[in-house]
């Protein structure tokens, strides 16, 4: 919980967090800038968390050292985990050869196959499928409909969102002259601790060895991590990011939405890739990049601006050509007349 100085009705009750500008007489919002304060004051709201020394407007305010941090604490109070029955639901199909910690919870219609281990306080939600020999750590959440094929390890406190798929066959085929021969995919997937994998995202298993997702990696919805990819600790993937086979991403990398890496390329530690970047060769110098193929960010931004000026560039080019041609003609004519 957080503490602050109330300027308004100290008995007032608030029931939920509200975004600034949403009318909600029993909601609590926050404002750390003039713009958001105006937005928050423009509608009825139960209270506003503000910085120390900020005056009351239409609504009661709570003055705190950091409005953002206090609001995050209030959010944490209000966000409850998705409910799940205690113990193993009567309808869950759990193999006799699986080991489930007594404190773990297994929801309705979940399927847990042979050789699986589920650690303390983990939650396997309804319709989740945990395939043969998967090792799930402690305090892990596997949301409804998520599928772990087999030989997938998931570290402590990681979260796999609904309908995500971990461990499907890597995409490998060889054209033999008459048909696409499937390259067997015999590897596994290793997911670190404190990882979050978004809804409807896919992490394929390796051809041999492991596809590796480091600790504290955060993957948004609808991402694709192909076979034998390796992702370093603390790296963040926004929606629609695609990492092709055997590409490697370092630590603390940020990949903005729709960014794609070609197969086997490497992106080094601490690099940031802007929206829709396409990486076709290794990037090792720290910094931000953008574009397809990727360029250092400021250069790429100049390219984007210049690209949109291309029709103008063409006009100027034609003008130059006309003027130079006239000049050349003029320069030639006098000589002939001389």
Q: Which is nearer to its own copies, 6 or 72 (CB)?
A: 72
Distance, CA of 150 to CA of 116 (rounded, Å): 9
Nearest distance from residue 283's CB to its own copies, in Å? 14
In the set 150, 190, 253, 273, which binds its own copies (CB under 8 A)? 150
Residue ranges in 39-78 that form contacts with its own copies under rule CB under 8 A = 72, 75-76, 78
From the list 86, 127, 227, 264, the catalytic residue is 227
* Phi then psi dihedrals of residue 210, to 5 deg: -135, 145
Judge residue 318's burial from the number of C-beta atoms within 10 Å of its C-beta, 0-12 exposed, 13-18 middle, 19 or more buried: exposed
Would you give the distance in Å from CA 143 to the centre of its chain? 17
Residues 6 or more apart whose CB falls under 8 angstroms from that of 326 comprise none
Phi-psi region of 296 (alpha: psi -120 to 50; beta: other; left: phi over 0): beta
d(C-alpha 277, C-alpha 304), whole Å? 12
Closest CA to 119 of 131, 137, 141, 107: 137
- In the complex, the smallest distance separating the C-beta of residue 91 from its own copies, rounded to whole angstroms, is 6
The DSSP call for residue 209 is: S
* Contact between 22 and 41 (Cβ < 8 Å): no
Nearer to its own copies, 53 or 151 (CB): 151
Shortest Cβ distance from residue 81 to its own copies (Å)? 10
- What's the CA gap between 66 and 48, in Å, rounded? 12
Is-catalytic flag, 227?
yes
Strand partners, 195: none
Provide the CB-side half-sphere exposure for 44 (13 A, CA).
Answer: 4
Q: Which of residues 86-115 bind its own copies (CB under 8 A)?
A: 89, 91, 93, 107-109, 111, 113-114
- Work out how close the CB of 207 gets to its own copies at its nearest, in angstroms, rounded to a whole number: 7
Among 221, 266, 268, 269, binds its own copies (CB under 8 A): 221
Enumerate residues 192-211 that contact its own copies by CB under 8 A. 194, 196, 198-202, 204, 206-210
Number of residues this chain uses to bind its own copies (CB under 8 A): 118
Tell me which stretch binds its own copies (CB under 8 A): 7-15, 32-40, 56-64, 129-137. Answer: 129-137
Q: Does 34 bind its own copies (CB under 8 A)?
A: no
Q: How far is the CB of 24 from its own copies (least distance, A)?
A: 8
- Fill in the per-residue mask, 228 to 267: x = in contact with its own copies (CB under 8 A), - = not in contact: x-----x-x-xxx-x-x------------xx-x-x-----
């Amino acid at each position: 919980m957080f503490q602050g100085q109330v300027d308004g009705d100290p008995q007032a009750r608030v029931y939920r967090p509200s975004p600034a500008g949403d009318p909600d007489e029993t909601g609590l919002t926050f404002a750390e800038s003039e713009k958001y304060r105006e937005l928050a004051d423009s509608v009825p709201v139960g209270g506003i968390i503000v910085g120390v020394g900020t005056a009351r407007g239409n609504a009661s305010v709570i003055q705190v050292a950091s409005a953002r941090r206090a609001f995050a604490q209030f959010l944490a109070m209000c966000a409850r985990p998705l409910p799940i029955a205690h113990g193993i639901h009567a309808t869950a199909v759990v193999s006799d050869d699986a080991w489930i910690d007594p404190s773990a919870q297994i929801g309705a219609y979940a399927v847990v196959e042979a050789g699986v281990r589920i650690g303390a306080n983990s939650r396997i939600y309804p319709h989740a499928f945990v395939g043969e020999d998967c090792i799930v750590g402690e305090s892990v959440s596997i949301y409804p409909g998520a599928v772990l094929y087999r030989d997938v390890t998931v570290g402590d406190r990681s979260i796999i969102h609904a309908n995500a798929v971990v461990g499907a066959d890597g995409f490998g085929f060889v054209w033999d002259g008459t048909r696409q021969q499937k390259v067997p995919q015999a590897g596994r997937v290793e997911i670190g601790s404190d990882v979050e994998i978004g809804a409807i995202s896919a992490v394929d298993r390796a051809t041999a060895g492991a596809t590796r997702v480091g600790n504290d990696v955060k993957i948004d919805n609808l991402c694709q991590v192909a076979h034998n990819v390796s992702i370093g600790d603390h790296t963040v993937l926004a929606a629609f990011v695609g990492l092709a086979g055997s590409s490697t991403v370092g630590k603390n990398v940020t990949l903005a939405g729709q960014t794609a890496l070609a197969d086997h390329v490497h992106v080094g530690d601490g690099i940031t890739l802007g929206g829709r970047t396409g990486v076709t060769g290794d990037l090792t110098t720290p910094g931000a990049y953008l574009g397809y193929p990727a360029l250092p960010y400021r250069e790429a931004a100049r390219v984007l601006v210049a690209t949109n000026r291309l029709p103008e560039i063409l006009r100027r080019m034609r003008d130059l050509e006309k003027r130079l041609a006239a000049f050349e003609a003029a320069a030639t004519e006098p000589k002939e007349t001389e």
